Amino acid sequence: QKEVEQNSGPLSVPEGAIASLNCTYSDRGSQSFFWYRQYSGKSPELIMSIYSNGDKEDGRFTAQLNKASQYVSLLIRDSQPSDSATYLCAVSRDTGRRALTFGSGTRLQVQP
């Protein structure tokens, strides 16, 4: 079992729709959770971080965390073609190395 699992996609949504990206993780000791966006050939860019159960909203983005289910999601409202990218889910403990463990990413395509 992979430590962080994501559907590789591609997830295709029309412009203006809601894109829903999901991620599950295996380490119950994980305390920090992140979503990064990565355009082809570029380095990952932080979109959202979430540290406690529930929802966190930032503009068109909402991250949702359910530690009991070991599940993290990202909602993108009013999707734009510029949102087309690979979205990486990452988790970490806040002790020891504190390194992020990444999923393999979900490719999102927003159709104009």
60 vs 107, beta carbon nearer other proteins: 107
Of residues 16-75, which lie at the interface with other proteins (CB under 8 A)? 31-32, 34, 41-46, 49, 51
Contact indicator for 3, 25 with CB cutoff of 8 Å: yes
Contact between 109 and other proteins per CB under 8 A: no
Contact between 88 and other proteins per CB under 8 A: yes
Exposed e or buried b for every residue in 74-92, given b needs 16+ CB within 10 A?
bbbeebeeebbbbbbbbbb
Contact between 105 and other proteins per CB under 8 A: yes
Query: CB of residue 68 vs other proteins: minimum separation in angstroms?
Result: 20
Phi then psi for residue 81, to 5 deg, are -55, -30
Distance CA 101, CA 99 (A): 6
Residues in contact with other proteins by the rule CB under 8 A? 4, 31-32, 34, 41-46, 49, 51, 88, 90, 92, 94, 97-105
